[in-house]
Amino acid sequence: MRARGRAILSARLGRGTLKPVSVTLPPDTDQPLFPGRACRPGSARTGSRVTGCREAGQMPVPLSRKIGQKKQRLAESQHQQIPKERPPSTLGLQQSIYFSSPDEHPGRLGPEFFDQPAVTLARAFLGQVLVRRLADGTELRGRIVETEAYLGPEDEASHSRGGRQTPRNRGMFMKPGTLYVYIIYGMYFCLNVSSQGAGACVLLRALEPLEGLETMRQFRSTLRKSTAGRTLKDRELCSGPSKLCQALAIDKSFDQRDLAQDEAVWLEHGPLESSSPAVVAAARIGIGHAGEWTQKPLRFYVQGSPWVSVVDRVAEQMYQPQQAD
């Protein structure tokens, strides 16, 4: 269309009567023929009949060049967003070794540790560290100093004696490392860990508190029924199966959890010592009406530890203490 010319428009005047109207465009206008459409400099394509959208004297930019410029700007933008790699630190780890997932606990004991016969596992537990992480991230730790082994269907003192399985003791028949938590006297909990052999497990009887003692003391003071108002001594915090459950806030909700994978409770390697502690094998506590199993030496504790729940002087005299594995 020429810059100067006439555009013939038709307007309806009256009824069915058409009257031609002529409009003269201003010379050398840069406005588009249709004002409602926006125009951008250089947006007209080569050979286009509408040239008003290109500034006077400006050559059209080839499409391939515009695409290349856009790719270049995009590449530069992405390059600026890529974070620069930090140089390796020479100061070693700058955060705690205790993290929030099983793979991030370097000292955490895995499934293979629990895959042992009950007696062997009961002895292997001694010296290891039980960890409890609370909902607010607080971690409580205690070194295991006393355990009891329950051998499964043949053991008359076991909840699985005779091979009986119930919803209550199901954890005893699950894979090694599964927690079995049961309630006694209608108010106290006991924590067990399944081992090799269907229905076999290990009862955790006592811990040496290592970390979070004040929190443990608060839990114990809130839940205990006796000695109200008296401040508990450190050795009273975890010196018994129900006491340690109170101190670590462990209840029935922990039943059937996997100690090798759980986020709230797990087991870590105990600190290395120059020599293994002497282990005493004695009769289990509170076992009655179990025949010969009542006196079998299936309770194991660290000799000389002030954190043990019950010391058996007779057993210490009768049996030569063994070295822990």
Backbone phi, psi, residue 64, to 5°: -65, -35
Mean of the per-residue pLDDT values for the chain?
A: 78
Backbone phi, psi, residue 65, to 5°: -70, -40
Label residue 5 by pLDDT band (50, 70, 90).
Answer: very low
Indicate if the pLDDT at residue 207 is higher than 50: yes
Percentage, residues of the chain above pLDDT 70? 63
Does this model's pTM top 0.85? My answer is no
130/221: higher pLDDT: 130
Q: Give the largest Cα separation in the chain, rounded.
A: 128
Q: Cα separation of 302 and 143, whole Å? A: 11
Indicate if the pLDDT at residue 46 is higher than 90: no
Do the Cβ atoms of 183 and 189 come closer than 8 Å?
A: yes
Closest to 293 in 3D by CA, of 180, 182, 138, 149: 149
**What pLDDT score was predicted for residue 202?**
98
**What pLDDT score was predicted for residue 40?**
45
Label residue 324 by pLDDT band (50, 70, 90).
Answer: low
**What pLDDT score was predicted for residue 69?**
72
Indicate if the pLDDT at residue 204 is higher than 60: yes
Q: Cα separation of 242 and 190, whole Å? A: 5
Q: Cα separation of 240 and 217, whole Å? A: 14
Exposure letters 78-88 (e unless 16+ CB within 10 A, then b): eeeeeeeeeee
